[in-house]
Structure 1
Amino acid sequence: MHARTATAAALAVLALTLTACSSEDQPSKPAVTVTTTATATVDRAAARQACVDAWLDLLTADASTGAEDEPAVCDQVPGQSVEMYMDALQQRNKANRDEVDACLEDPTCTSVPVP
């Protein structure tokens, strides 16, 4: 029983000694930890335009391309795939309409069949 008491007393003295030594010279200051998180900032307007351009390229190459054939670049702007597809579709339709209008104004044009 005396061994347990002596061991406990020795540990208490050791703990008090270590605590006293560290606080005599300088007051303890909490360690300052700065954590920065690097996040990739994507210019949403540029990413959206890249997606619309990719859709336009697909639609120009193959008119049967549908919304299920979404280009990989569109993953940068989630949740807007239908809107971006529709923007590209409208741009392709406008380009086609401009081509038809130009051909109708030119009497020598034969690229667009006119009934």
Structure 2
Amino acid sequence: MHARTALAAALLALAAATAGCGSDSSNDEPSKSDKPAASASPSVDEAAALQACVDAVADIPAGDNGEVPSEPVPDECADLDEGDYLDAYMDGIEQSNEQGRDDLQDAIDEASKASQP
């Protein structure tokens, strides 16, 4: 149980550390080097491939320092381009953090119930 709590705490710390790392670009105009998108939304296969990559990243255990390694790239992510992989990587970390928070809340709830007479 201590390992679970420590992992959840490490994941929360990682989430807090990466919360400000997002990048919003106010420039909506594509540059000349940008490739035009084939469609506005990904196909079902592309969405399934992205979700499989997100799930694979979410399953990567954090190291002793709390960081989730981005290398080696999981097999489920091998066919993605760099940008899509980085997006899936961040989404996978977020998914893992959410699961860690849920697990921590479950542990707190169980401890609270056990302490009730």
Per the normalisation by structure 2, the TM-score is 0.48
Larger relative contact order, structure 1 or 2 (CA cutoff 8 Å, min sep 6): 2
TM-score, normalised to structure 1, is 0.49
